[in-house]
Amino acid sequence: MPNKVLIIGAGGVANVVAQKCAQNSEVFGELLIASRTESKAKTIAERIKNIPVSTAKVDADKSQEVAALIKDFQPKIVLNIALPYQDLAIMDACLATGTNYLDTANYEPKEIAHFEYSWQWAYQERFKKAGILALLGSGFDPGMTNVYTAYAKKHYFDKIDTLDIIDCNNGDHGKAFATNFNPEINIREITQNGRFYKNGEWKEIPPLSIRQDISYPEVATRGSYVLFHEELESLVKHFPEIEQARFWMTFGDEYIKHLTVLKNVGMTRIDPVKFKGTDIVPLEFLKALLPEPSSLGENYSGKTCIGCQLTGTKKNANGTKDANGAIHEKQTYFVYNVCDHAECYKEVQGQAIAYTTGVPAMLGASMVLTGKWSGAGVFNMEQFDPDPFMAEIGKWGLAWKEIFGDEARLVN
């Protein structure tokens, strides 16, 4: 039976999520799109013709306001496609109403450029007691990359030694400087110290201080930098055998040059400064000046490539014996998706960054609503069986490919 779903947020990703939910009308029967700016929600709603859709105004910072909306609409799940600052308020509203929850990025306090899962994992017992499910990070990275890792472990590895998540956007939007998703969140992420996991410890490094050229299949060879990304935290928790885990993302020289200047003159600061007697946050002001990410799609060309490189061992009769006499064979594996900006715009009037985040959000919700993923508590994507997700994701626009052996080793 088709389900009622509340989508909170009305940016580029929410546009993709709503349209993909409408395409999957066997699961999604009615949508309510709610945003602080209802006019943005109405723009998305106008694109949906085959299932009922309505809009509402909501301040997602106010848990009681969200809870009232949930009580009125009675959705089976709330899709939080708003800002990471609002995760906890929306989770509180879901707890108050006994409603399942999904998001695409983990919580980040507005006053500190720092994100981790501890705040949301702390809801585990409350969601379990309420008998409802919270699915965290159901985007691409995090999200699809978590499922890729779980799929690799289930089918190809007895033990994962290293994990490298690599993310390339080789697109051109024609702007001198713009971000592909919320500028405030994007710049906070890039300008803070990087981190990676090695031998049971987190190693902290200065921003963009580790660089490597990576040849992304079907796309390009691009300079890539180590950042901290939240899925590393959950993956090393749920696959504790991993010895090293890193996240790499591409940035062009022009992007880094602009970002460096902006940082040097103080425009990336998140603390208030006094301007003509009024407190303003420089990064929030910068966000107002930069292009809206959802506006970039129409003239965007090029492709993205995002995937996971894993090394480890798989039992094989031709392998070598370990200390316990078990026979293993070394293995390198790369699983990835390539997405075309122009094709995304033709389909959903959005660019590939929004598309690759929005499609897994829809499918994650579908997994919960159809009972293919079930439980009570707070879960990351890799805690569920990856097979039904991997079997369907290509049908909704994110086909995946895999490479084995020496050709799969893209990162040193």
Does the pLDDT value for residue 43 go beyond 60?
yes
**276 pLDDT tier (thresholds 50, 70, 90):** confident
pLDDT value for 380: 98
Tell me the mean pLDDT in the region 372-391: 98
DSSP symbol at 292: P
Residue corresponding to tokens 């699983």? 335
pLDDT, position 296: 66
User: How much is the pLDDT for 181?
Assistant: 60
- Residue 110 clears pLDDT 90, i.e. is over it: no
Give 393's pLDDT tier (boundaries 50, 70, 90): very high
pTM: 0.91
Average pLDDT along the chain: 91
pLDDT tens digits, one per residue of 201-226: 999 999 889 999 999 999 999 999 99
Nearest Cα neighbor of 296 from 180, 154, 134, 388 is: 180
pLDDT for residue 177 is more than 90: no
d(CA 231, CA 237): 10
Q: What average pLDDT score do residues 31-36 get?
A: 98
Reported for 253-258, long-range contacts at CB under 8 A and 24+ positions apart, including other chains, are: 253/223, 254/176, 254/177, 255/177, 256/208, 258/176, 258/177
More confident residue, 98 or 174: 98
- At residue 235, the pLDDT reads 98
Domains and CATH numbers, the chain: 3-139+363-369 (3.40.50.720), 144-350+394-408 (3.30.360.10)
Which residue has better confidence, 95 or 324? 95
Q: Where residue 264 falls among pLDDT bands split at 50, 70, 90?
A: confident
Binning pLDDT at 50, 70 and 90, where does residue 394 land? Answer: very high
CB contact at 8 A, 57 and 81: no
Q: Say whether 12 sits in a helix, a strand or coil.
A: helix
Give the pLDDT of residue 213.
96
Which H, E and C letters describe 213-268, residue by residue? Answer: EEEECCCEEEEEEEECCHHHHHHHHHCCCCCEEEEEEECCHHHHHHHHHHHHCCCC
The CA distance from 412 to 409, in Å, is 7
Q: What percent of the chain has pLDDT over 70?
A: 92
Mean pLDDT of 177-181: 65
pLDDT band at 301 (very low <50, low <70, confident <90, very high): confident
Residues 91-100: what's their mean pLDDT? 98
Higher per-residue confidence, 280 vs 86:
86
**pLDDT for the residue numbered 180:** 61
Q: 402: alpha, beta or left, given left = phi > 0 and alpha = psi -120 to 50?
A: beta
Statement: residue 8 has pLDDT above 60: yes
| pLDDT for the residue numbered 249 | 93
pLDDT of residue 176: 63
pLDDT score of 73: 98
Q: How confident is the model at residue 122 (pLDDT cuts 50, 70, 90)?
A: very high
Cα(171)–Cα(187) distance, rounded to whole angstroms? 18
Residue 34 burial (CB count, 10 A): 26
Note the pLDDT tens digit of each residue in 228-250.
999 999 999 999 999 999 999 99
pLDDT digits (tens, 9 = 90+) for 183-205: 676 777 777 889 999 999 999 99
**pLDDT tens digits, 399-408:** 999 999 999 9
> For residues 287-316, b (16+ Cβ closer than 10 Å) or e, as one string?
beebeebbebbeebebbbbbbbbbbbbeee
| Cα–Cα distance for residue pair 204/248, rounded to 1 Å | 14
pLDDT digits over 325-358, tens only?
Answer: 555 689 999 999 999 999 999 999 999 999 999 9
